[in-house]
Structure 1
Amino acid sequence: MKIVMLSPYFYPHTGGTEKYARDLATALIQEGHEVTVITNNLPRSKNAPAYEILPEGIKVIRLDAVDMFYYLPVSTQFNLKMLEGYDIVHVHVPPFSFLRSVAGRVKQPVIVTYHCDVTVSEKYFGMPVPRWVVPPFEGSANAYARLLLPKADIVYNTTETYAETSPVLKNLPHRVIPIGIFYDKIDEAQKRLGLTPEKKNPRQILFLGRLAGNKGCDYLVKAMPKILSQFPDAKLIICGDGEEKGHIVDLVTQLDIGPAVTFLGTATFDRLVELYYTSIVYVFPSINRLEAFGIVQLEAMANYTAVVASDIPGPNAVMEPGKSGLLVPKQNPDAIADAVCSLLADPEKAKAMGKRGRELVETKYNWKTIVKQVLALYEEALMKKRK
């Protein structure tokens, strides 16, 4: 089967959607299919080639484009002739520019992965966003999505808790297929690094992700004084970069917890595996609907690490609360502190949760299983087109 994916952003642009599209394309190729990704050549600073074949065998076509406003790529190079010869058109949204171009206008089945609702974060660069901006912006984006999505043959997202609370999906036919993870690559890194259970640091807390307003890292930082009052030797590692970093660094200074917090910036794959594996708990404090799943939870569980996550639609359906991690109310430093302290106080409980998380990754979030669910959607859509 020849599949073309239309993704507004793709490697070397980084983010959850980009990683999902690349991993799904890889899994499809491993099943013997051919995958081409058409995307926008952003950010321009990366100087990515207009065409290349990635090591996994993914063919990538990058179009000249500009980012209008925030997270809104625009290109004049895309045309429907580029889709000739493919069996399936798989579109990733939002943004909706590619879907707008193909919806109701191509003969092939159009499959849509709906990654998240268009959402305005509460703040940018540490500054709160005026609330009057939110309703008209989100409302118009949701209305546009509800207009376009019914024109696709099949729409799916990654968790039912997100779909049933989405102003877009809750009243539209949709399927649910979770995100997968290639844990064999993680296993290889663990072996290469000599990581064994005794390498777990019973006082190491990890945040790993982009330092953006929706990620909620500042709420974890605000939880640290309470954590340190009970466990003075606790250490928080913050691995990532982004527009909120300056605000978070200032917050660490204001709270006078500098010696307990380490900023690492970005890291290599092996270093990420080491950080996940050696931490006793990974904290996922995201706060809004820009976070619809949380691939980092899978990465933590694949490394036998317990997760403390915000109880928000989508991410709250990834792990098993009480078995592979703990859920806490969003934007609640006290609740984060209490959950983390409960695991620091009982490292064996934390390790047992990490082990259960690993079992969940192998059974539920294995790409070899998940890609078959996606292929079943392709076959279903093709059969309907033939009738």
Structure 2
Amino acid sequence: MKIVFLTRRFWPEVGGVEKHCLEVGKMLIKKGHEVIVISEKPSSKYKQSDASSAKVTGEIFGIMIERIDAGIENWFKKFRVWRELWNKKDIIKKADIIHCHDVFFWYLPFRLIYPHKKVFVTFHGYEGNKIPNDLAVFSHKLAEVLSKGNISIGSFYKKWYGTNATIVNYGAIEPKKNVSFKKPGRMRRVLFAGRLEEEAGIMEYLIALTLLPKTFKYSIDVLGDGSLKREAIKFCRKNKINAKFYGFVKNVNKYTQNADYVFVSRYLGILETLGLKKPVFAVYNNKIKKDYLTMTPFKKFISIEKNAEEIAIDLLKEIDKEKIEEGYEWAIKQTWEKMASDYLRLWRV
């Protein structure tokens, strides 16, 4: 079966959706299907190299990669996307399945041209840092109505977007075997993983560290980038926080497995952290982010906070080993094999 993924970003760029598409694609290839990913050209910092398996164009793990030049973010971008996809219409025409990862609007003109084509959508998380506006709600509902079915990553969609999920999922990981829980030493190693934006709570986490007693010795590694990076670095220097900023990294688990406490608030990062038996501290800054975190089966395995004060209080509590073990047992069942099976079930294959 020939499957086409439409997604804004793809490997080698770093992020939850990028990894999701890659890992599901790899599983589908193993099951004998053909997978083509159409995505925007990556930013200039990602150079294609024959020495790297993460190719910008061509093939990776058997997945064929096609790129479109969508240009800058403005009102005209959708027309550029449609023009670029029109140049690849033969790929769409020959596909058995079209699956849109958030970007259902990319496919709208082809929905009219190929009314009987099987098209599906995955809703990944939510957009940006704000409560969904009417346009966001409408676009999600339109995607639900015009597609043959959808996978919702999270249970909050019905409440916030009015969409009805065909299948609900919370992400997946590659389970690690023989993982053991380790208590923190005198010098606690803290890790933040996420975008350096308000939505990810970077400043709340850093403020929380300043509220801890001097007897709580720690260092923090910060993985990620964003508009608050300069402010975060300045804050750390001013408050003498022992912090190292690494930017985006491809292997987050390498840092997570050496951490004692992990600041992360997106599903993929939470699952990967639970799968390494590390305590998760997830902060929310608005009502939708609160529901995003609390309307989940893993809420009882993590610490969820609304501000720096609550984060500091939870950091001072003794780590609940039983909760860590239960979280691990749940997380290792959320595999990419299971995720790929959900896609095949959605497509009725």
TM-score (norm 1): 0.76
Tell me the amino acid that sits aligned with residue 110 of structure 2: V
TM-score (norm 2): 0.84
Distance 2:141 2:302 in 1: 35
SS of residue in 2 equivalent to 1:236: strand
CA RMSD of aligned residues (A): 2.8
Counterpart in the other structure of 1:212: 197
Counterpart among 89, 100, 120 of residue 108 in structure 2: 100
Distance 2:237 2:94 in 1: 58
SS of residue in 2 equivalent to 1:112: strand
Say whether the 8 Å CA contact 1:219–1:333 is kept in structure 2: yes
SS of residue in 1 equivalent to 2:113: coil
Distance 1:262 1:173 in 2: 41
Counterpart in the other structure of 2:43: 43
Distance 1:115 1:141 in 2: 13
Q: 1:210 to 1:338 in 2, by over 3 A?
A: same
SS of residue in 1 equivalent to 2:17: helix
Q: 1:52 to 1:244 in 2, by over 3 A?
A: same
* Equivalent residue runs for 1:189-338 within 5 Å: 197-198=181-182, 201=185, 203-227=188-212, 229=213, 231-254=215-238, 256-258=239-241, 260-267=242-249, 269=251, 272-284=252-264, 286=265, 293-310=266-283, 312-318=290-296, 320-322=298-300, 324-329=301-306, 332-338=307-313
Partner deviation per Cα, 1:271-319 (whole Å, 9 max, x = no partner):
x3232122222122x5xxxxxx521001111111111223622233456
Distance 2:344 2:273 in 1: 27
Distance 2:111 2:164 in 1: 16
Say whether the 8 Å CA contact 2:4–2:97 is kept in structure 1: yes
Say whether the 8 Å CA contact 1:230–1:341 is kept in structure 2: no
List runs of 5+ in structure 2 lacking aligned partners. Answer: 49-54, 285-289
SS of residue in 1 equivalent to 2:340: helix
Say whether the 8 Å CA contact 1:8–1:98 is kept in structure 2: no
Counterpart in the other structure of 2:51: none
Where do 4+ consecutive residues of structure 1 move more than 6 Å?
Answer: none
Tell me the amino acid that sits aligned with residue 198 of structure 2: G
Say whether the 8 Å CA contact 2:219–2:243 is kept in structure 1: yes
Say whether residues 1:52 and 2:58 are aligned partners: yes
Q: 1:201 to 1:354 in 2, by over 3 A?
A: farther
List runs of 5+ in structure 1 lacking aligned partners. Answer: 123-133, 287-292, 381-387
Distance 1:116 1:321 in 2: 16
Partner deviation per Cα, 1:81-123 (whole Å, 9 max, x = no partner):
2213321111111x4442323334323211100124444x36x
Distance 1:268 1:77 in 2: 29
Distance 2:244 2:164 in 1: 45
* Equivalent residue runs for 1:1-387 within 5 Å: 1-48=1-48, 51-54=57-60, 56-69=61-74, 74-75=80-81, 76-79=83-86, 80-93=89-102, 95-106=103-114, 107-119=116-128, 121=129, 138-160=133-155, 162-166=156-160, 168=161, 170-172=162-164, 174-184=166-176, 197-198=181-182, 201=185, 203-227=188-212, 229=213, 231-254=215-238, 256-258=239-241, 260-267=242-249, 269=251, 272-284=252-264, 286=265, 293-310=266-283, 312-318=290-296, 320-322=298-300, 324-329=301-306, 332-342=307-317, 346-347=318-319, 349=320, 351-363=321-333, 365-379=334-348
Q: 1:379 to 1:334 in 2, by over 3 A?
A: same
The number of residue pairs the alignment matches comes to 331
Tell me the amino acid that sits aligned with residue 2 of structure 2: K
Tell me the amino acid that sits aligned with residue 362 of structure 1: I
Partner deviation per Cα, 1:313-350 (whole Å, 9 max, x = no partner):
2233456344x222222xx11011111211xxx24x2x
Distance 1:369 1:327 in 2: 27
Quick one: percent identity of the two aligned structures? 20
Tell me the amino acid that sits aligned with residue 373 of structure 1: D
Distance 2:223 2:163 in 1: 38
SS of residue in 1 equivalent to 2:348: helix
Q: 1:173 to 1:275 in 2, by over 3 A?
A: closer
Q: State the Cα distance separating 1:154 from its structure 2 match.
A: 0.5
Mean Cα deviation higher: 296-305 or 59-68: 59-68
Say whether the 8 Å CA contact 2:40–2:67 is kept in structure 1: yes
Q: 1:276 to 1:335 in 2, by over 3 A?
A: same
Say whether the 8 Å CA contact 1:303–1:354 is kept in structure 2: no
